[in-house]
Structure 1
Amino acid sequence: MKDIPVHQLEKRGSIGMEIWRYQAGEIQNDTLDEEIMKAHRDDHYIFFIVEAGDTALMIDFNEIKFSPHTLYYILPGQVHHGLSDERAAGWFMAVDTMLIPPDYRKVFEGQLALQKPYLLDDGQMKQCMGLLDLLLQRFLEHEKSTFNVSIVHSLLQSFIGIAAGCYAEINDIDVRVSRPVELSRMFKQLLVDNYVAIKSPSVYAGMLNVSERYLNEVLKKATGFSVSYWILNEIMLEAKRLLYYSECNVKEVAHALGYDDHAYFSRLFKKAEGITPLTFRVTYRK
């Protein structure tokens, strides 16, 4: 069966990151450009800033449009692909998760809904451009000096800190968060790691040492939806990824998601999405 491709950062470099700048209509690397336009996952973070022009990506079945001065990031595991061969001018950066401090990861990974683009003001844009210019220069020279890798990583930390600060601001996230907000984040991480094996709200509540009722109250306040909703949402999202981007049949998709009874899975999918898994595949592959 054909799986969704996973792009691995270690195959493209040895210092845990890469960075490049592109101009509107310019193809930096034919092979890389072709890979980006096809649906895939990454085992690392992607950050980018659009300097000029407009572009769009499909990220987990959501079309995200970007205008000038837009900052955005893609999490490891999110399926995405380009919607146009003509890209805007801007910056692209791939970053190993281990290079992103825990407090910053809390901001990036703490949202249950898909992250939104962030519009940089003129001052923020100027700061980012100066920092990225220096980061690119040092990245291209990292083999010339014993200390250059450390310098590259320090500059990278500065940029990621700016990005985390932007997203913490628009999502009203304080890294010294209240217990309810922290609980929502912890649930999200547990869910991403365990949804195939664990589908019971009470089990997640137990893992978090709270009651199921309290966890529901916290999530409804933070997101508007219950624990059960987010569990099913994560399952259906991965199901749609597999149905659209892979060649797995429905039985294989069901088993990959932890369901031994593929007929039950099909009924669950239809109830959640309004169509059968096969109809979804046919409809979205047109």
Structure 2
Amino acid sequence: MKDIPVHQLKERVNTGLEIWHFVAGEVLDEEDTLGAHRDDHYIFFVVEKGTASLMIDFHELSFQGSSLYYILPGQVHHRIRSEVAHGWFIAIDAMLIAPDYRNVFETQLLLQQPFLLSEVQLKQCNDVLCLLQAKYLEDEPGPFYLPVVHSLLQSFVGMAASCYSGAGGLQFAMSRPVQLAHQFKKLLAENIRQIKSPSAYASMLNVSETYLNEALKKATGLSVSYWIQQEVMLEAKRLLFYSQMSIKEIAHNLGYMDHTYFSRIFKKSEGNTPLLFRVNYRK
């Protein structure tokens, strides 16, 4: 059976961000019409007016005007149907989502629900996204281009997290695999520098390594080892971008005494050496 494809943001952009404004009546090119797939990044939608719908993890969701929604890395979905809607699409590398914000987004229920924005919240989101897009699309990016783009992006993500941090209400009961996946991801974020063994996480969760792997595959479509590697790379990219630590110091910080080994696994995962990643992102 053919696997569900995983689309990687780094194959489309090198800024960790993709943003566009869509309007009613737009017809997508055939090559852009995607079937069921997963993404390795976050996707946010702001539907300003009109209606739209989205099939995600076997649930059909409908959006009215003034709605905010997001898709987590690993969730199976189809392209949003927005032929009669106006709004925003924003794809964001998980590296650029601060841990506190990730905690809000990733500890929602099995299927996060659209958030209805007030008139003030919608205007604030639209103002920030207009400014972000204008800066993002500059023909001749000047000094500090990426830091400014990422700062504007953080403003939007922070507003989205603020909306969802106060949103509650059980809409869908979580299955045992989904509960276990959430517990695993929380442990992983807290212990990734010291613990990288699938069996160690299984022991901490009082389940067998086989069961944990089966649960993760059922809930996310991906293995325990995959999520451990993703978390390591995510933390590595954050340190490369935000800190002044050397490659050797970052390797040690992440629990690798051999920094050359760390550089090899980073290049295998990301397609670039840690140094090239830092240079490219700090242009």
Regarding TM over 0.5, the answer is yes
Letter in 2 for 1:4: I
Given that residues 142 and 149 in structure 1 are in contact (C-alpha distance below 8 angstroms), is that contact kept between their aligned partners in structure 2?
Answer: no
Alignment of 1:94-243 (within 5 A): 94-141=91-138, 143-171=140-168, 187=183, 189=185, 206-207=203-204, 236-237=218-219
Q: Flag the 1:234–1:67 CA change in 2: closer, same or farther, 3 A.
A: farther
Given that residues 48 and 72 in structure 1 are in contact (C-alpha distance below 8 angstroms), is that contact kept between their aligned partners in structure 2?
Answer: yes
Deviations 1:156-191 (A, max 9, x none): 00000000010001139xxxxxxxxxx999615169
Deviations 1:1-27 (A, max 9, x none): 522121111111111001000101113
Given that residues 106 and 185 in structure 1 are in contact (C-alpha distance below 8 angstroms), is that contact kept between their aligned partners in structure 2?
Answer: no
TM-score normalized with structure 2 length? 0.62
In the other structure, the counterpart of 1:3 is 3
CA-based RMSD: 3.4
Structure 1 residue ranges without an equivalent (≥5): 173-182, 213-227, 243-286
1:24 aligns with 2:20: no
SS of the equivalent of 1:21 reads: strand
Task: Name which of 36, 52, 66 aligns with 2:63.
Answer: 66
Q: How far apart, in 2, do the equivalents of 1:21 and 1:169 lie?
A: 27
Given that residues 75 and 220 in structure 2 are in contact (C-alpha distance below 8 angstroms), is that contact kept between their aligned partners in structure 1?
Answer: no
| CA apart distance, 1:112 | 3.7
In the other structure, the counterpart of 1:14 is 14
In the other structure, the counterpart of 2:33 is 34
Q: How far apart, in 2, do the equivalents of 1:237 and 1:53 lie?
A: 32
Q: Flag the 1:84–1:122 CA change in 2: closer, same or farther, 3 A.
A: closer
In the other structure, the counterpart of 1:251 is none
Given that residues 45 and 76 in structure 1 are in contact (C-alpha distance below 8 angstroms), is that contact kept between their aligned partners in structure 2?
Answer: yes
SS of the equivalent of 1:53 reads: strand
SS of the equivalent of 1:123 reads: helix
In the other structure, the counterpart of 1:224 is none
Alignment of 1:244-259 (within 5 A): none
Given that residues 72 and 116 in structure 1 are in contact (C-alpha distance below 8 angstroms), is that contact kept between their aligned partners in structure 2?
Answer: yes
| CA apart distance, 1:141 | 1.1
Structure 2 residue ranges without an equivalent (≥5): 170-178, 190-196, 223-283
Letter in 2 for 1:12: R
Q: Flag the 1:71–1:129 CA change in 2: closer, same or farther, 3 A.
A: same
Given that residues 45 and 96 in structure 1 are in contact (C-alpha distance below 8 angstroms), is that contact kept between their aligned partners in structure 2?
Answer: yes
Q: How far apart, in 1, do the equivalents of 2:80 and 2:90 lie?
A: 19
Q: Flag the 1:192–1:4 CA change in 2: closer, same or farther, 3 A.
A: farther
SS of the equivalent of 2:44 reads: strand
In the other structure, the counterpart of 2:238 is none
Q: Which runs of 4+ in 1 moved over 3 A?
A: 82-85, 183-186, 190-193, 230-239
In the other structure, the counterpart of 1:49 is 46
SS of the equivalent of 1:57 reads: strand
Deviations 1:72-118 (A, max 9, x none): 00000100014747252110000000000000000000124211100
Given that residues 112 and 188 in structure 1 are in contact (C-alpha distance below 8 angstroms), is that contact kept between their aligned partners in structure 2?
Answer: no
Letter in 2 for 1:13: V
Q: How far apart, in 2, do the equivalents of 1:9 and 1:49 lie?
A: 19
| CA apart distance, 1:125 | 0.5
Percent of aligned pairs with the same residue?
51
TM-score normalized with structure 1 length? 0.62
SS of the equivalent of 1:46 reads: strand
SS of the equivalent of 1:86 reads: strand
Letter in 1 for 2:155: S
SS of the equivalent of 1:104 reads: helix
Given that residues 110 and 185 in structure 1 are in contact (C-alpha distance below 8 angstroms), is that contact kept between their aligned partners in structure 2?
Answer: no
